[in-house]
Amino acid sequence: MAEQRKIGEHTISYDGIFNVNEIFQILKEWIKEYDYKPNEQFHSEKVDDNGKQIMYRINPWKKINEYVMYDVYVKFVLTDVKDVYVDIDGKKRKMNKGAIMFYAYVALTSDYEGSRESSPMIVFFRSLYDRLIAGNEMSKWGQTELKETLELRKRMEAYFNFDHFKEVKA
């Protein structure tokens, strides 16, 4: 059975004007840039009186070697999303307005294929190996993964950290 070690987590909340497609594009570019494999888990959209409610979960992953891989669990919850128009350089542009919650859980997964689970003795030696011998390598890999996901967080924060969109009448 694979063993997962939590490396970290990131949470961002935002309420304001944004473009849903641009947010997902930031995520897609990060996945491609850092050579993760996208694994979409769930995507739903519901429209009610308050606007659109969107939930999106994706699990980008990347193998380090035949024994260890990076796992990132990303979840977006967008609530009360409505279309608005903003003035950008004198032109009206359709955007979205609502609340967003971005959450990323970062983990290092060892023995992800379960190949070292054939007997209790192998499990015992694998556990010793993980803690005593490969501990430094695991720590380095964890720091690398944390650095990569911190970059995703910074990109999301940079996108949400703008106040240059002003809503205009349609």
How many structural domains does the chain have?
Answer: 1
The answer as to whether 21 is a domain residue is: yes
- What does the pLDDT read at residue 48? 93
Tokens of 6: 């939590």
In a domain, 88, yes or no: yes
**Is residue 26 one of the residues assigned to a domain?**
yes
pLDDT along the chain (170 residues), means of 10: 80 92 95 94 94 96 86 96 88 92 90 68 73 69 83 91 63
pTM: 0.81
Amino acid at 71: D
Residue 28 confidence (pLDDT): 96
The pLDDT of residue 104: 94
CATH, residue 106:
3.40.198
19 falls within a domain: yes
Instruction: Quote the pLDDT of residue 161.
Output: 82
Is position 50 within any domain?
Answer: yes
Q: Do residues 71 and 109 touch, judged by C-beta distance below 8 A?
A: yes
Distance CA 165, CA 58 (A): 28
Query: And the tokens for 28?
Result: 């897609």
- What's the sign of the alpha-carbon dihedral 76, 22, 70, 36? positive
Contact call for residues 68 and 109 (beta carbons, < 8 A):
yes
How much of the chain is helix, strand and coil, in % rounded to 5? 30, 45, 20
Q: How far apart are CA 75 and CA 57, in angstroms?
A: 4
Give the domain range for residue 90: 3-165
* Residue 170 maps to a domain: no
